Structure 1
Amino acid sequence: MPLRNAIETHARQRPDALAVCISGTRLTYGALHKRIARLNTALAALPAQLRSGFALPETGRLFAYAAGNHPSAAPMLSTALATPHAVALLDPQWPDNLHQQMLSKLPPDAVFCLSSQTALIDAARHLGIPAIRVDTDEFAAFEGPADPLLWTQGSDIFMVGFTSGTTSRPKAFARARHSWRASLDASRWAFALTDKSHTFAPGPLAHGITLYAFAETLEMGASFHGLTRFDLGDAHRAMADTRRIVAVPTMLGALARGAAQDQIIEITTAGAKLDPGLLGRARKVFPKARIHEYYGASELGFVSLNTHGPQSSSAPANSVGHPFPHVSLSIRHNGEELPQGETGTIFVRGDLAIDGYLWGGRHSGFRREGPWATVGDLGRLNSDGSLSLLGREGGMVITAGHNVYPQEIETALSEIAGVEGAVVFGQLHPSRGQEVVAIVGGNALIEEIRAQLALRLPRYKLPRRFFRLDAWPLTSSGKVDRAALQNWLKEKDDRLVPLSA
């Protein structure tokens, strides 16, 4: 069912039921529906920017939202989900110049941000784009009359998301409504959702796992609980009013401490493999919960699912589970399907994958082969039909739920004066899935390296550990021997000198 219909139905039948609570700011379904109607009218009245290769309905507008988990996210994101408008989700952690690049590349009809984001406001106004500060009276003044909502079409775009790539500019992709309608049909059954599935999702709404949990919860008529910023005390207070948690393993690990939380009966997690220690701890703190661990990607949607009960799992614990409902899997190499048990590139077929990127992506892992799509992950199908994830083409790193390409960080490091070569790896980490490790040559001070990287990259892409070496190991062809470096890291070879600020 389209989310417009679902929210309208909940508002009519249970107007006083809680829809959203973000750090104490609450909206009932009746109030949320009115806010959506007012924002829909105001957005439709905006002049439309000229954009090539990106079409919306005549009354639809593209707005950028950069205010993170500010309470204004609830009505703004709901408006994109339920009306002909679309949202471009700008990560508030991006450096200023990256925000400016995105505004130039795909000009929105308005930008919604915080008053502290002065560089973003200046860039928008320079481009002739209205900038509405959601933490001031401008936001309430922007809203129009609550006119009736229009129907949305499945082929309409409702979201522009961004995914990391091999360049400093994120790649943008568009999501059509039909893909999430199909996803919601599948996940409702897979995650056992009902109108009592009151959900706590503490992560950033600019990221897929949290935004999708927001949509899931509203469709069911349950209440969504989030935080403007993560605080463990606030998180435990929010959990007391919920029955479900949606979080990447890093945050789940923070929540899975202390006394047992018997009220939690469902947990959904993704972004990194659950290690046995965290799974065991989560089972202890949430003894009545089923833990749904899924594997997917922004470009592909859901791929596979492993559900862990108190004593057993639906698939081998070291696998990423069986194919998600309505999804078919194929392990392929050079366009040919490989037999069961052989390692190759994981391709998926279903209604959930994007068609392609709005720009970039030429050297990314995402590609299509007929009806099949992949992000370049490597794996194999086991005898029970479960999927084992073995690595990534090109060495993509997944850290705390984020996709990070080492080449992007290496490029940023190479731009720093005094750095003479850089190699970046992902290493296994007990809570983050992987952590980013950088090896550098040259004489640049670690303080300068960290400061310069912070200007170029979001925080989640910054290496957590640095090493320096005097001479690079080389292959017979004269290239840096990455395999040797990985072995040195593993063996703690003294040729790699740890750097600390």
Structure 2
Amino acid sequence: MRSPDFLTAHGPSPGIRHWIAFEPAQGFDDYETTLAGSSENEPPRIAEGADIHNILFTSGTTGQPKGALVSQRAAATRGLRLAQWFGLTEKDGFVGWLPLFHCGGDESLYATFATGGIYATFRRVDVPAMYARIERERLSWTLLLPGVITDFMNDPQRQAHDLSSLRFAIGYANMMPNVVAKLTEILRIDFYDAFGQSESSYLLAHGRSGPGEMPSLRKRPSPLMEIRIVDEDLNEMPVGETGECVVRGPSVMSGYLDDDAANAEVFRGGWLHTGDLLRRETDGTLTFVDRKKYLIKTGGENVYPAEVEAVLSQHPAVQEACVFGVPDAHWGETIKAVVVLREGQSADGAEILHWCRERLAGYKRPRYMQFMRSEELPRSTTGKLQRHELARLPITIEQRLA
């Protein structure tokens, strides 16, 4: 315990044999006395940097999750890099609604341990409770992902709480840029657009937007990581051209749990293949294009769903959109969009298709559109849409666009 101010009646706790306080307190052993009575011999080191620290399971947005083996070295690197990147100190506190079996919760915990701040845990997303803890503990950062960000911004209890200590949030700006701009404007905070994964850290690269700014979607690579944009043969792609992002460095996982075939595939050529398609810009920043597995091939043309989703999400009535390929007798594959409208807004398929006509080539426009409520969408534990589940939904004649 740090101070008597933090002491509470600890009551019966059969699993804890000793309670120790740094300052004298009734019912606690004194830290200095305990230290003086300890052996002068250092205990044997029982963990090496390469030893496995924990297993983080991937989001499973395209299929079954895989267990990423994270070493002691990788876990420490992830936490320390996060603390450095965001300038965390003992005055910062994290709103920990994310599960600790996900890299977002896991790495944020290590960063908090490293800097001496507060990690406020929640069993589930409870926006009013999060407001109250931010106000009481002066918490300063969190992750706000789809499925949570709109609730956090729109809950009617928000204005009853002092949230001025919150200085930044992390999330996926490409999924809902209009919402992110509104959030930062209302709360007067920064937003970091995340690019990363369980296999390598959620801090591979981030883009920052200030209060009220529309996210640029360009991301700056993080330190202590080698990042390349390559073709299928690991040749470096020219600036401005799309390729797969491959990485290596001390925060990369040791491999997948009990999956030799997946390990051979993901570590081809000595680099971790992220499965993400990116483009390097002239200023050295990275632009996320899409997941390699999401690529739609329609009539011989390649369509990146993220490009279509970005156009749909810019429509004033659209809160969120997900685009994927569906079978088509003529083109082999065509495009379907699932759309969530913003609260209090209305639009139909014809209106949104007209919006797309002015901004997308013909072969990139959705041919089917299904409207759903946000709470109906299948999501991972971190709010990512599970496309493979949406792709299983029936295609009906009513969804067909003119």
Give your verdict on TM over 0.5: yes
Cα distance in 2 for residues equivalent to 1:36 and 1:327: 41
- 356-365 vs 186-195, greater mean Cα deviation: 356-365
Which residue number in structure 1 is paired with residue 286 of structure 2?
A: 387
CA contact (8 A) 2:183 2:212 kept: no
The structural deviation recorded for 1:178 is: 0.4
Cα distance in 1 for residues equivalent to 2:15 and 2:71: 19
CA contact (8 A) 1:366 1:375 kept: no
Cα distance in 2 for residues equivalent to 1:229 and 1:303: 26
Q: Cα deviation per residue 1:85-116 (whole Å; 9 max; x = unaligned)?
A: xxxxxxxxxxxxxxxxxxxxxxxxxxxxxxxx
Cα distance in 1 for residues equivalent to 2:325 and 2:335: 14
Q: Cα deviation per residue 1:424-477 (whole Å; 9 max; x = unaligned)?
A: x998485986548796xxxxxxxxxxxxxxxxxxxxxxxxxxxxxxxx53368x
Cα distance in 1 for residues equivalent to 2:197 and 2:45: 31
Q: For residue 187 of structure 1, give the secondary structure of its aligned residue in structure 2.
A: helix
The structural deviation recorded for 1:336 is: 0.7
1:351 pairs with 2:250:
yes
Tell me the matched-pair count: 301
RMSD: 4.0
Percent identity for Structure 1 against Structure 2:
20
Distance change (3 Å), C-alpha of 1:283 and 1:261: farther
1:199 pairs with 2:94:
yes
Distance change (3 Å), C-alpha of 1:38 and 1:248: farther
Which residue number in structure 2 is paired with residue 325 of structure 1?
A: 223
Cα distance in 2 for residues equivalent to 1:36 and 1:300: 35
How high is the TM-score relative to the length of structure 2? 0.63
Which structure 1 segments of 5+ residues have no match? 1-10, 19-26, 40-147, 398-424, 440-471
Which residue number in structure 1 is paired with residue 378 of structure 2?
A: none
Cα distance in 2 for residues equivalent to 1:335 and 1:36: 53
Cα distance in 2 for residues equivalent to 1:17 and 1:297: 39
AA in 2 matched with 1:239: I
Q: Cα deviation per residue 1:216-238 (whole Å; 9 max; x = unaligned)?
A: 22222111112222222212112
Which residue number in structure 1 is paired with residue 197 of structure 2?
A: 297
AA in 2 matched with 1:253: T
Which residue number in structure 1 is paired with residue 152 of structure 2?
A: 255
Q: For residue 57 of structure 2, give the secondary structure of its aligned residue in structure 1.
A: strand
Q: For residue 336 of structure 1, give the secondary structure of its aligned residue in structure 2.
A: coil
Which structure 2 segments of 5+ residues have no match? 19-42, 297-304, 338-362, 371-394
Which residue number in structure 2 is paired with residue 174 of structure 1?
A: 69
CA contact (8 A) 1:210 1:246 kept: no
Alignment of 1:91-490 (within 5 A): 152-164=47-59, 169-240=64-135, 241-250=137-146, 251-257=148-154, 258-259=158-159, 261-271=162-172, 273=174, 275-287=176-188, 289-301=189-201, 302-310=203-211, 317-333=215-231, 334-360=233-259, 362=261, 367-395=266-294, 428=309, 435=322, 473-474=328-329, 481-483=332-334, 490=366
Which residue number in structure 2 is paired with residue 409 of structure 1?
A: none
Q: For residue 256 of structure 1, give the secondary structure of its aligned residue in structure 2.
A: helix
CA contact (8 A) 1:272 1:432 kept: no
Cα distance in 2 for residues equivalent to 1:214 and 1:308: 24
CA contact (8 A) 2:229 2:279 kept: yes
Q: Cα deviation per residue 1:145-189 (whole Å; 9 max; x = unaligned)?
A: xxx997643222121122255986432221101012112221111
The structural deviation recorded for 1:491 is: 3.6
Distance change (3 Å), C-alpha of 1:346 and 1:368: same
How high is the TM-score relative to the length of structure 1? 0.51
Cα distance in 2 for residues equivalent to 1:382 and 1:339: 9
